Structure 1
Amino acid sequence: MSTRLDTTSGVGDPVAQPDDLDPRLLCPTGRTERLRVVVEHYSPTAGRCPGCGWPVARRQECPSRQVALALLENRPLPVRLAHLADVVPGARAGRDSAADRDRRRDELDAMPGLFAAPARTPEQGDAR
């Protein structure tokens, strides 16, 4: 008798789509709105999220809550939600490369300000 999983049955974890997310996450929102999403989609037990009705096995699994937390903490989306990075404003997937960080810093340094910004020193390990 074999104990292999049947991958042809099509039964698996549901994949979150943009329609499954809280609509407030699909438009540019502020910190307060994101915090509301986190609170409203907090599921104290397994079952269904009280905010969106998403089936959750553990209380942290609601996709709206995970996206809102990632935006609040300025970190990439979890791997299972990375496909939503193009839909949610401000969301990103994966780690930033050094070139992305340098480009973002250069853009920030080029912005006008009250005082001239001090010259940045290269990060440890950068060879410029």
Structure 2
Amino acid sequence: MARATERLRRYLEDCRDEDIEQRLGELETLERTLGAERLSADLDVLSALANETRYRLVRALVAAREELCVCELHAVVDITESGLSHALSQLVDAGLVDDRKDGRWKKYRATNRAIALVTVLEGSVTDE
């Protein structure tokens, strides 16, 4: 915000009838609230969902409402086992999917964050 402060000051002086220092303080608080670390984590999630295979996997896990074995997920997407493993790893890293080992099988479940995001995305589609 430091670079924009002078321009912002001019805007506030020209267009807003309020205490400039108070408004600058409010905007600095807003900037801190956003936080670089939080923005980075959010971008990781959005990047993970921006791939068709990974998004299909997340939607399948959300729709299943239960754990699915990696072999079940392989039936949902037409990619190599290596590609599936990589996609699931990225989803786990982004916090959209939890995994656990069950004997020699690996099982996956959508996280609450994934459920919320898919729900919002599905709710934003309008039928025309």
TM-score by length of 1: 0.25
> Which gives a bigger RCO, structure 1 or 2 (Cα 8 Å, sep 6+)?
2
TM-score by length of 2: 0.25
Larger % of helix: which? 2
